[in-house]
Amino acid sequence: MNYRITVKDYSLEDIYFERAGSGTKVLLLHGWGASTASFKPVFDRLSQNYDVISLDFPGFGKSKIPPPDWGVQQYADLIAGFIFSKEFYPCNLIGHSFGGRIAILLSSQYKDLVSKVVLVDSAGLKPRRKPGYYLKVFTYKTIKRIFFFFHKDKNDIQNNENFKRIVSILKLGGSADYQSSGALKSICVRVVNEDLTKYLSSIDCPVLLIYGENDKETPLYMAKKMKRRIKDSGLVVLKDAAHYSYLDQFGRFIAIVDYFFMH
C-alpha cells in the first residue's frame, strides 16, 4: 500500500486540522461552505471515545485555497494523502453533504484506508431538475453571451455592474453555495455537476446513510438511490431534521453513529 499522493500546487501542510481522543480512528469531512466549526459538537462528543480528526477542506476555514481547476477527485486524492501521511488508517469516515462526495470516492478508490462510512445528507448524485431550472440556465447563458459580444473586457463580464444588476433582478445568480463560494466558484460549478453514481457499486465497506426527512438540498430520494447501489448499506431518516440533520437531531445522531461504529 502506497498512498504518498501529491496533488498539483497543494501541500498537505496547507491543510488545517484538529485532533483529539484515542481509540478507533474517525475522520470528519464537512460540507461545502463549512469548516471544522460546523462539526465541533460532533468532534467534541466523539473524541470522548474515539481518535477523531476534523479538517478544513482546501479553500475553507483555515486551509489554503486550491487551484481553480480542481474538482472532487483532487480533493479526494489530497485527503487520501493526508490520511496516509498521518498514519490515520484504517479510519471511519463521517461525510456531510460535500464531505459525503469525498467519502464516496475515498471508500471506492482507497479501500485500504477506510473501515466504515457514514454519509450524512450526502451530495454526489445528479439532482432532479424542474423545467424552470433549465429555463433559468438558458436565460443566464443568453444574457452572458450578449454582454460578451458587446463588452470590451471579455474576461471580467461577471463583475460588470449592469450584468450583475440584470442577473439580480431576474434572480439568475445561482445557488446559495455558488454565491458564497468566492474564489471557489469555478470549482463549485464543477463539483455540483459531477455525478458519482458510478462509484457507489465499488464501495465494499459498511455504509450508513443518515438523512433529514425535510432536507431540501440533498433530498431523501438521493439517499434511497445510494442505498440501492451500495452493497452493504443501511438508511436512517431523522424526523424533524433538515440538511444539517446531525445538528437538528444531535443526540439521536450520536447514538446511531456510536452503535454503527461499535458493531
Q: What is the pLDDT of residue 220?
A: 97
Q: What string of pLDDT tens digits covers the 263 residues of the chain? A: 655 666 878 999 999 999 999 999 999 999 999 999 999 999 999 999 999 999 999 999 999 999 999 999 999 999 999 999 999 999 999 999 999 999 999 999 999 999 999 999 999 998 766 666 556 655 656 766 776 666 655 456 565 666 666 656 665 555 565 455 567 988 998 999 999 999 999 999 999 999 999 999 999 999 999 999 999 999 999 999 999 999 999 999 999 999 999 99
Q: What cell was used for 23?
A: 481509540
Write down the pLDDT at residue 142. 72
Closest CA to 261 of 44, 17, 46: 46
Q: Which of 242, 239, 246, 240 is nearest to 208 (CA)?
A: 246
User: What secondary structure letter does DSSP report for 124?
Assistant: -
State CA 95 to chain mean position distance. 7
For residue 198, the Cα-to-chain-centroid distance in whole angstroms is 17
First to last CA, the chain: 27
Separation between Cα atoms, residue 56 and residue 27, nearest integer Å: 11
- pLDDT at residue number 1: 63
Could you give the count of Cα atoms lying within 13 Å of 243 in the half-sphere of its Cβ?
Answer: 14
Number of H helices, E strands in the chain: 11, 7
Residue from 19, 13, 153 nearest 78 by CA: 13
- Name the phi and psi angles at 187, rounded to 5: -70, -40
Q: Give the per-residue pLDDT at 8.
A: 76
Report the relative pairing of strands 51-55 and 91-96 from DSSP bridges. unpaired
Q: Given this model, what pLDDT does residue 124 score?
A: 97
